[in-house]
Amino acid sequence: MYDFEFVRPTSLEAAIAALAEEDAQALGGGQTLIPSLKARLAMPSVLVSLAGIAEMTGVCRDDEGRVCIGGATTHAVVAREAAAHFPALAALAGQIGDPAVRTRGTIGGSLANNDPSACYPPAALGTGAEIITNRRSIGADDFFQGMFATALDEGEIITEVRFPVAEKAAYVKFAQPASRFALVGVFAARMPDGVRVAVTGASEDGVFRWTEAEEALSREWSPEALTGLAPGSDGMIGDLHASPEYRAHLVGVVTRRAVEAAG
């Protein structure tokens, strides 16, 4: 790993100032970034840890009933503290990686990285969450822009994520057994303003909404409404773990399981 200067600001303002340095990089929990640095895939001059910023951690409810999670909040804390507010979201956080990864990994880090197999992107897209940065608010539909690509600009960090609470929702992950990442994961939600189905792990474009399933579930919220339905395999990821055809098939199966789990 190349060396860098490590700074741990205790306020958002100080973090933004530190990130203005040339080649500065924000560090959430480091569960993806540290292995990437070891592989010399990045060479930041300054690493700005966001872990010491109290205003960026914690789980609460806002006036509109949304569950608001600070960008530097770890998966373990979300799994524990969001359980009473939004059980499906808490359950999703409790399935990420393994217990030690959940101690360190953060929601802001996961969303900013937008790994095509990560768990948080489908939760944000599947609820129509609002992603708050130090500069603006971005709707989930505009935030995700393809594999490892987001609407975030240089020096922009996720300070908070606001999730509208679903009437019914579940996340089901078909885990790749070695990495624990989703081979296919589906967040299916009946929101007050309509059905949303978001899929991770499957597409070469990263997380996406499966609109065909959303339409079928809008007519009837039941696993049976999806009988025979699966997306096409064009544009699905093919690797040594699964072919595009297998992933497309799994999207249908896992979505039915998610609707069944949501009740």
Partner 1 sequence: MAVVSMIVNGREVSAEVEGRTLLVEVLREGLGLTGTHVGCDTSQCGACIVHVDGAPVKACAMFALEAEGHTVTTIEGIAGADGALSPVQAAFKEHHGLQCGFCTPGMVMAAEALLKENPKPTEHEVREYLEGNICRCTGYHNIVKAILAASGQAVSAPV
Identified binder of partner 1 from the candidate list 168, 180, 241, 249, rule CB under 8 A? 180
Nearer to partner 1 by Cβ, of 101 and 229: the residue is 101
Q: Does 43 bind partner 1 (CB under 8 A)?
A: no
Q: What are phi and psi of 74, to 5 degrees?
A: -80, 160
Which of 23, 54, 99, 137 is the binder for partner 1 (CB under 8 A)? 99
Q: How far is residue 263's CA from residue 31's CA, in Å, rounded to a whole number?
A: 33
Q: Does 201 bind partner 1 (CB under 8 A)?
A: no
98 binds partner 1, rule: CB under 8 A: yes
- Cα dihedral 190/192/194/198 (nearest 10): -50
Asked if 31 and 104 count as a contact pair (C-beta separation under 8 A), the reply is: yes
User: Whose Cβ is closer to partner 1: residue 79's or residue 262's?
Assistant: 79
Residue 47 sits in the site that holds partner 1 (CB under 8 A): yes
Query: CA-to-CA distance for 208 and 48, rounded, in angstroms?
Result: 30
Residues 9, 18, 31, 121: which binds partner 1 (CB under 8 A)?
A: 31
Task: Closer to partner 1 by CB, 113 or 203: give it.
Answer: 113
Residue 174 within binding range of partner 1, rule CB under 8 A = no
Give the C-alpha separation, 243 to 126, whole Å.
25
Question: For the chain, where are the E strands, in sequence order?
Answer: 5-7, 24-27, 46-49, 59-61, 67-70, 130-133, 137-139, 158-163, 168-175, 182-191, 194-200, 208-209
d(CA 148, CA 207): 10
| Of the residues 2, 41, 63, 154, which one makes contact with partner 1 according to CB under 8 A | 2
Which positions from 57 through 86 interact with partner 1, judged by CB under 8 A? 76
Q: What Å distances lie between residue 233 and 19, 60, 122, 147, 250, CA to CA?
A: 41, 40, 19, 17, 11
Query: In the block, which residue shows the tokens 């998610």?
Result: 258
| 173 versus 196: smaller Cβ distance to partner 1 | 173
104 binds partner 1 (CB under 8 A): yes
Using CB under 8 A, pick the residue from 9, 70, 71, 97 that binds partner 1.
Answer: 97
Exposed (0-12), middle (13-18) or buried (19+): which is 110, by Cβ within 10 Å? buried
Interface region with partner 1, contact rule CB under 8 A, candidates 30-38, 108-116, 198-206, 210-218:
30-38
Among 14, 51, 225, 261, binds partner 1 (CB under 8 A): 51
Which residues here bind partner 1, judged by CB under 8 A? 1-6, 8, 30-31, 34-35, 37-38, 47, 49, 51, 76, 97-101, 103-104, 178-180
